[in-house]
Amino acid sequence: MALKIILILCFFAVMIAVGLYSRKHAGNVNDFVLGGRSVGPWLTAFAFGTSYFSAVIFVGYAGQFGWNFGMSATWAGLGNAFIGSLMAWNILGRRTRIMTQKLDAKTMPDFFGKRFDSVPLKVFASVIVFIFLIPYTASLYNGLSSLFGLVFNIPYWVVILIMAIFTGIYVVVGGYMATAINDFIQGVIMLFGIAAVIITVVMNNGGLLEASKTLASIEGDAGWSGAYSSFFGPDPLALLFVVILTSLGTWGLPQMVAKFYAIKSEKDIHKGTVISTVFAIVVAGGCYFLGGFGRLYASSPDIKWNPDRPGVPLFDSIIPAMLSTLPDILIAIVIVLVLSASMSTLSSLVLTSSSTFTLDVIKPLKKKEMTEKKQVAIMRIFIVFFIAVSAVIAVFKDANPKVTFIAQMMGVSWGALAGAFLAPFLYGLYWKGITKASTVVCFIWGCAIALIQMFITINAVDVSGWGTILSYVFKSSINSGVVAMVGGLVIVPIISLFTPKPGKETVDGIFDCFNEEVHVKKSTSLPDED
């Protein structure tokens, strides 16, 4: 117990020290929100990865998808690595950095407002971010309760309060740079922690071969032996939807895309791509691979079962049950690992929420010009506000276990944000012909799908009579989120073909940023031969 407390205290001390160190990088809006657009590849790649993978992934999704799909759940982690990281960096990274600097856009709503020359569009996007990031933020506390129950006999609200206070301190003091540096430290902890846990869990089950054989003998819900050790698992279509939502969805999430705004240079993007992809392979691939062995612990007394669904566990209890067999030193590392995963994503989300609300809602509504100092001060106030609201929601959920919809809101929030923003943002970077009208329609489309899913989730709407296809679409927030994203990619070009085009001169001026000549050293790029 002393070792665990010491490790956690050291962890918090380092976080606060980084926040104090980063004060000099948080003097104006550009520094506070984007780190002065001078953040190197290692910090940016780790910031991207740690914002991507929170405790929800490690505890909730790894347990849920590992139980449902077995070892094939690893495909979700590989999808996160190669679609959510490698392709995202290659397709979005460079163009996002160049165009947002050209437009002087500091947030995703700010990008939409300047790309389409529309303040109302910017405000609309900001409202979407404000509404759907709060439940997303609150969901980050999921899983902490069961893990801390392994170690500490303290109320869960105390855990939430401690995490909220320390995250708030270093983000308020140091802004983006403090978040990026702490994300790097937290990312290193996640890398080594997950590797150690996987090795130990597999060895505790007789090694990889023996654990796979045992898993192959389980019939479970699949109805046939070997389903949970097979290549694509018992339900390949459902697995495909999971891979698409958790991988492609990052392309439209404001807190993820914002990492590309801040990176320093072209060569840093190439390095960041490699680092981010390797990080995702280890962390995401490792988490889902670990969760794939969850059914080996079905007889564990630490597994809690869903009273409303016989034979189905409470998914947040699966990973803690696996971890309860670990040595004390590893449990201590896992506690710090989960804190790292949660705090890194929490800091990214609240910084995104506060900067968006301040720069894209409050500033346009103010008649008088706001100084840089005042804008930073308002952002700091809203960081505290968003952290407090998310903590209150998490405490309320813990005090009312029957209120289950909060735990499911992450999927709804993810689907709404990615469904609304992915297509307009992607097309906006590459295509001059995208129109403002198509962007508005996509915003409405993504939010409408998410709201329908929310009402279904809380049992306010019955989908049993909607037909086979619609019933499957709204079977879960995963399915509806994928439909929202893919539908947006189809809707935007179609609507753009039939709606007024933006002014040619304005659009050409924006896209000229990609035609500017630059001079580089031969160490970076060799000249073409005649």
Give the mean model confidence (pLDDT) for residues 469-487: 86
**pLDDT category, 177, cuts 50, 70, 90?**
confident
Q: Retrieve residue 340's tokens.
A: 């790292």
**pLDDT category, 21, cuts 50, 70, 90?**
confident
Whether residue 523 is predicted with pLDDT greater than 70 in this model: the reply is no
- Cα separation, 446 vs 412, in Å, equals 10
Give the mean model confidence (pLDDT) for residues 216-230: 82
- To the nearest whole number, what is the mean pLDDT of the chain? 84
Say if CB 140 and CB 342 are below 8 A apart: yes
- CA 91, distance to chain mean position in Å, is 18
The proportion of the chain whose per-residue pLDDT surpasses 70, expressed as a percent, equals 92
Say if CB 79 and CB 243 are below 8 A apart: yes
User: Which of the given ranges, 41-55, 112-126, 446-460, has the highest pLDDT on average?
Assistant: 112-126
pLDDT of residue 483: 93
Give the mean model confidence (pLDDT) for residues 6-22: 84
Whether residue 281 is predicted with pLDDT greater than 60 in this model: the reply is yes
Neighbours of 35 (CB within 10 A): 28
pLDDT of residue 181: 87
- Cα separation, 126 vs 357, in Å, equals 6
Whether residue 320 is predicted with pLDDT greater than 90 in this model: the reply is no
Whether residue 15 is predicted with pLDDT greater than 70 in this model: the reply is yes
Whether residue 178 is predicted with pLDDT greater than 70 in this model: the reply is yes
Whether residue 262 is predicted with pLDDT greater than 70 in this model: the reply is yes
- Cα separation, 394 vs 389, in Å, equals 9
pLDDT of residue 305: 81
Question: 324 φ, ψ to 5°?
Answer: -65, -15
Cα of first residue to Cα of last residue in the chain, in angstroms, is 70
pLDDT of residue 8: 81
- Cα separation, 60 vs 65, in Å, equals 8
pLDDT of residue 403: 55
Residue intervals in the chain for CATH 1.20.1730.10: 2-400
pLDDT of residue 530: 40
In sign, the C-alpha dihedral spanning 112, 118, 121, 126 is positive
Say if CB 197 and CB 326 are below 8 A apart: yes
Give the mean model confidence (pLDDT) for residues 304-330: 80
Give the mean model confidence (pLDDT) for residues 340-355: 84
Whose CA is closest to 40, among 284, 280, 270? 270
Q: Retrieve residue 458's tokens.
A: 């809380």
Q: What is the pLDDT of residues 66-95, one digit of tens each?
A: 988 999 999 999 999 999 999 999 999 989
pLDDT of residue 297: 87
Q: How many residues does the chain have?
A: 530
Whether residue 29 is predicted with pLDDT greater than 50 in this model: the reply is yes
Q: Retrieve residue 481's tokens.
A: 């989120």
pLDDT of residue 282: 93
Per DSSP (E only), the strands in 120-229 are: none
Say if CB 447 and CB 128 are below 8 A apart: yes
pLDDT of residue 80: 94
Q: Which CATH architecture has domain 2-400?
A: Up-down Bundle (1.20)
Tell me the angle at which helices 41-52 and 328-357 cross, rounded to the nearest 10 degrees: 100
**pLDDT category, 190, cuts 50, 70, 90?**
confident
Give the mean model confidence (pLDDT) for residues 463-468: 72
pLDDT of residue 144: 65
